[in-house]
Amino acid sequence: MEKKDFAEFINRQNWIFAKTYADRAPHEYIVKDKLDKNDMSEFPKIVTYIRHFGFPAIFWGEEHIYYYYEGYYYWTMGDSVEETIILNRCNYKLYEMCYSGKGGEGCL
Protein backbone atom coordinates (compact mmCIF):
# COMPACT_ATOMS: atom_id res chain seq x y z
CA MET A 1 0.00 0.00 0.00
CA GLU A 2 1.18 3.51 -0.81
CA LYS A 3 0.24 6.89 0.63
CA LYS A 4 -2.10 7.57 -2.30
CA ASP A 5 -4.02 4.35 -1.51
CA PHE A 6 -4.33 5.44 2.12
CA ALA A 7 -5.55 8.89 1.00
CA GLU A 8 -8.12 7.46 -1.39
CA PHE A 9 -9.46 5.14 1.30
CA ILE A 10 -9.86 7.78 4.01
CA ASN A 11 -11.30 10.35 1.61
CA ARG A 12 -14.15 8.12 0.50
CA GLN A 13 -15.30 7.27 4.05
CA ASN A 14 -18.26 8.77 5.88
CA TRP A 15 -16.65 9.61 9.20
CA ILE A 16 -18.88 9.52 12.30
CA PHE A 17 -18.42 12.15 15.00
CA ALA A 18 -17.89 10.50 18.41
CA LYS A 19 -20.63 12.31 20.36
CA THR A 20 -19.75 10.60 23.63
CA TYR A 21 -16.30 12.22 23.58
CA ALA A 22 -17.33 15.60 22.15
CA ASP A 23 -16.27 17.60 25.22
CA ARG A 24 -13.12 15.78 26.27
CA ALA A 25 -11.66 14.05 23.20
CA PRO A 26 -13.37 15.16 19.99
CA HIS A 27 -12.71 12.77 17.15
CA GLU A 28 -14.33 10.83 14.33
CA TYR A 29 -14.33 7.14 13.52
CA ILE A 30 -15.38 4.50 11.02
CA VAL A 31 -16.50 0.94 11.73
CA LYS A 32 -15.16 -1.85 9.53
CA ASP A 33 -18.47 -3.73 9.45
CA LYS A 34 -20.28 -0.65 8.10
CA LEU A 35 -17.98 -0.26 5.07
CA ASP A 36 -18.73 -1.50 1.58
CA LYS A 37 -17.25 -4.87 0.61
CA ASN A 38 -14.21 -3.42 -1.15
CA ASP A 39 -13.30 -1.07 1.71
CA MET A 40 -13.94 -3.81 4.25
CA SER A 41 -11.27 -5.92 2.54
CA GLU A 42 -8.91 -2.89 2.40
CA PHE A 43 -9.40 -2.07 6.10
CA PRO A 44 -6.66 -4.44 7.43
CA LYS A 45 -4.20 -2.93 4.94
CA ILE A 46 -5.03 0.55 6.25
CA VAL A 47 -4.49 -0.58 9.85
CA THR A 48 -1.17 -2.16 8.89
CA TYR A 49 -0.13 0.99 7.02
CA ILE A 50 -0.83 3.18 10.07
CA ARG A 51 1.09 0.86 12.36
CA HIS A 52 4.04 0.61 9.98
CA PHE A 53 4.41 4.29 9.09
CA GLY A 54 3.00 5.81 12.28
CA PHE A 55 4.72 6.85 15.48
CA PRO A 56 4.13 5.83 19.11
CA ALA A 57 2.62 8.57 21.26
CA ILE A 58 0.84 8.82 24.58
CA PHE A 59 -2.65 10.24 24.82
CA TRP A 60 -4.68 10.10 28.04
CA GLY A 61 -1.97 7.92 29.56
CA GLU A 62 -2.12 5.24 26.87
CA GLU A 63 0.35 4.62 24.08
CA HIS A 64 -0.94 4.00 20.58
CA ILE A 65 0.53 4.24 17.10
CA TYR A 66 -0.57 7.43 15.33
CA TYR A 67 -0.21 8.35 11.69
CA TYR A 68 -0.37 11.98 10.60
CA TYR A 69 -1.88 12.83 7.23
CA GLU A 70 -3.18 16.19 5.98
CA GLY A 71 -4.25 17.71 9.27
CA TYR A 72 -5.42 14.56 11.05
CA TYR A 73 -3.99 11.91 13.35
CA TYR A 74 -5.23 8.38 12.57
CA TRP A 75 -5.08 5.51 15.06
CA THR A 76 -6.61 2.25 16.25
CA MET A 77 -6.86 0.94 19.80
CA GLY A 78 -4.19 -1.75 19.59
CA ASP A 79 -6.09 -4.97 18.93
CA SER A 80 -4.50 -7.31 16.41
CA VAL A 81 -4.93 -6.22 12.80
CA GLU A 82 -7.47 -9.01 12.27
CA GLU A 83 -9.54 -7.99 15.33
CA THR A 84 -9.43 -4.23 14.76
CA ILE A 85 -12.85 -2.87 13.72
CA ILE A 86 -12.57 0.85 14.55
CA LEU A 87 -10.39 3.46 12.86
CA ASN A 88 -10.24 6.85 14.59
CA ARG A 89 -9.09 10.26 13.45
CA CYS A 90 -8.85 13.69 15.04
CA ASN A 91 -7.83 17.16 13.97
CA TYR A 92 -4.18 17.51 14.94
CA LYS A 93 -4.70 21.11 16.12
CA LEU A 94 -6.86 19.87 19.01
CA TYR A 95 -4.23 17.62 20.58
CA GLU A 96 -0.68 17.55 21.82
CA MET A 97 0.87 14.14 21.16
CA CYS A 98 3.91 13.22 23.26
CA TYR A 99 6.36 10.57 22.16
CA SER A 100 9.46 8.80 23.40
CA GLY A 101 11.72 6.50 21.46
CA LYS A 102 15.00 6.01 19.64
CA GLY A 103 14.52 9.30 17.82
CA GLY A 104 14.19 11.22 21.08
CA GLU A 105 11.37 12.59 23.18
CA GLY A 106 9.02 15.49 22.76
CA CYS A 107 5.53 16.65 21.99
CA LEU A 108 3.95 17.51 18.68
Query: Percent of the chain scored above 90 by pLDDT?
Result: 58
Name the pTM for this structure: 0.83
C-alpha triplet 20, 33, 38: angle, nearest 5°? 130
How far apart (Å, rounded) are the C-alpha atoms in residues 92 and 59? 12
Instruction: Specify the pLDDT at position 91.
Output: 78
Residue 12: pLDDT band (50, 70, 90) is very high
Strand (E) or helix (H) holding 49: helix 37-53
pLDDT digits (tens, 9 = 90+) for 25-60: 668 999 999 999 999 999 999 999 999 999 888 776
How far apart (Å, rounded) are the C-alpha atoms in residues 68 and 52? 12
Average pLDDT, the chain: 86
Strand (E) or helix (H) holding 73: strand 72-75
How far apart (Å, rounded) are the C-alpha atoms in residues 39 and 45? 10
How far apart (Å, rounded) are the C-alpha atoms in residues 70 and 89? 11
**Of residues 64 and 19, which shows the higher confidence score?**
64
**Of residues 1 and 108, which shows the higher confidence score?**
1
